[in-house]
Structure 1
Amino acid sequence: MTPQLDFIGIVVSDMPATLDFYRRLGLVFPEDAENQPHVEATLPSGVRLAFDTEAVIKSFHPQWQPPTSAGRTGLAFRCADPAEVDQVFAELVDAGYHGELKPWDAVWGQRYASLADPDGNGVDLYAPLPTAPSPATE
C-alpha cells in the first residue's frame, strides 16, 4: 500500500480562539470542542484536520517546546469566486484576526489573500479569476 495523507495536525496555544477562526472558514467541530485537548474536523476529501493543545503534546513528548517563529504551516481555502475571497478576508479581519496580505489578483490567475490564524500559521484564501473572453474573430 502507498501511504495516503489522512491527517494534518496543528499544535495550538488557545483552542477556543483556534476553533472560532476555523469555524468562520466553514469547518465543523463537535459541540463542547472548546473544552477538549484534541479536536478534529473531517474535510470533504476525507482528510482530517486536527488541533492539539500544547499540553497534549507535552504529555507524550515532555521535551517539546513551541516553535519560536510561526509561518512554517500553511493552509489554503478555495473560495467560490473572487468576491468571496474579499468577503471572507474582510470578515476575518473585522473579527480581529491578522490579515497578512490583502486580496489581490495574482499573476497565476487567482484572487488571493493571506491571513494568520491565532497561532500565526498562514491561511490563504483563493479563487480562480474569470478568464477574459477571447476577441471575436472576423
Structure 2
Amino acid sequence: MELQLSMVVLEVADLDASVRFYRRLGLDIPDPDPDRPVVAHRMGSGVTLLITRGFASRYDPTWAPPAGGGYSQLLEFYVGDDAVVDSTWADLVGAGYRGRMPPTKTAGPYAAIVDDPDGNAILLTSDEAASPDAS
C-alpha cells in the first residue's frame, strides 16, 4: 500500500477565528459543534483539513505553540490563476490578516503568503501542479 497524506491537523487558539479565516479563503468549513472543539473539511484532493483547539495540549504534555513569529509548516492552497492569487491576497490582507509575501513570481509558481489567525503560513498559489485536477 502506498503511504498517503490523509489529513492536516491545525491546533489553533481560537476555533471561531480560524473558521472565519478558512471560509474567507474559500473553503466550505462547517460550523463547529458547541460540545466538541473541532471542524473538518475534506477537499477535492482527498486531504482533510482538521482544525481543533486543545487536542495537542491535552494529549502531549510537551506541546507548545510556535514562538517568535516563526512557523513550522507552510500550507499550500491552489487558488486558481495569477489573478485569483492577487485577489485572494488582497481580500485576506485587507481583512487584517498578516501578509508575509505579496503576490510574487517565485523561482517556481506565482504565489503569496499570508498568516492564518494562529500564525500558520498559508501559501496561495497558481501552480497547476498543486491543482486537484493535476495528474
| Paired position in structure 1 for 2:66 | 67
Cα RMSD over matched residues? 2.0
3-state DSSP class of the match of 2:93?
helix
User: Which SS does the other structure have where 2:90 is aligned?
Assistant: helix
Q: Which residue of 2 aligns with 1:5?
A: 5
Displacement after TM superposition at 1:34 (Å) = 7.2
Percent identity for Structure 1 against Structure 2: 36
Equivalence for 2:14: 14
2:63 & 2:107 partners in 1: Cα distance?
40
**Which range moved further: 89-98 or 44-53?**
44-53
Distance apart, 1:7 and its partner CA: 1.0
Pairs aligned (count): 126
Identify unmatched segments of 5+ residues in structure 1. Answer: 130-138
Q: How many Å separate the matches in 1 of 2:30 and 2:11?
A: 18
Q: Which residue of 1 aligns with 2:44?
A: 44
In structure 2, relative to structure 1, the CA distance for the partners of 1:107 and 1:56 (3 Å cut) is closer
Query: 1:63, 1:106 → 2: CA distance?
Result: 36
Contact 2:66 2:72 in 1 (8 A): no
Moved over 4 A (4+): none
C-alpha distance after superposition, 1:44-92 (max 9, x if no partner): 1111111121x23222234432232431111111122111111000000
Give TM-score, length-normalised by structure 2: 0.82
Structure 2, unaligned runs of 5 or more: 129-135
The TM-score normalised by the length of structure 1 is 0.81
Does the aligned pair in 2 maintain the 1:76–1:123 contact within 8 Å? yes
